[in-house]
Structure 1
């Protein structure tokens, strides 16, 4: 079985996001998206149960995005592919999906695994767009995943008021949530091994993707960026015997009770 895990290099969630003069996210100093680690873990669990499974990690991004691929390889997997081209800068979700789909056609996967979203964009659109481009069935927001010997992937999806059990034949695109199982932590041996695993770099020309369809030609444009307003101080109510009544009064005014 050939599995490709789509991963992303994102700004560290612990730092304040920065933006360039072109209103793009400043990706200097980033990491593998934490949600992507759950997709990587699911691929590695298939390796443990299906002999002969090969896992390739795939990303689209600037040169520094190779760090995300090395992190994924340190967790496990056989190889990585980095699509990097100056013309990609500024691409939105549709443009990113177009590039990823072109790379995936070249890799010919039986199963494409993605996270439910990236920690920077958070659109959750790319997995569905990939399925459309590749003409594959999509199973999204999986909290459980399993593979049958007959070539069927099954998931459990937890909706707001119900639980759905869905299945699709391979090849397919599956996105997973952070409830599907804790990702493994890279071991020292895995980190050292990752440095020797093959990591290919492809350009847009390698994939026959016209530069005029990505980057500056993105369908969405950010006109301005406004910083989040500072958090207002809360109200402190000293309790001198009337705290309960005052709290009930506040909740009533806000129509919470």
Structure 2
């Protein structure tokens, strides 16, 4: 029995070491500088990491930015964007929801609902509306008028079930993480060159890895709005 326990522990350690080594080489680590353990302990950050891993396997030239704090297009303050993918087929604003349970939502409603097997419910702000605010901020910052370049994707965890999602427009996609690459691949048409992607990346990079003061001010702003 002692040898079995020893081998089990050895296997676990080996998996952790391999997983950590993979993380250290990831785009997510490069963009955020978050430690492996910080990401593993935080469900939201881990969801972003897994989503960026999917993006890393995309074909075509692309760049990724994570956790951007952009000035709002209207009303002052900042808006936080989980992931911005700059791809040959467009600028993708990706809202990451690493949720479990059943997800119910309507594009027109202010709030959506997460329901758990024990009957408990959790309400959260409509991520489509959330992403529209993000796109408005991006348009203003980049001074881009062509709205067709921007694409909104809400990415949910594989652990959840998108039970009843009602979309009333064609400008947003609500999917589970494993469908992300296929959805982007289906866009097809190239709208950005490599040089344009690099230029946009440089313009936006300063809004990632912001100071703790900016993050604290953003959280205070969100809490004030929720009162």
Larger % of strand: which?
A: 2
TM-score by length of 2: 0.30
Larger % of helix: which?
A: 2
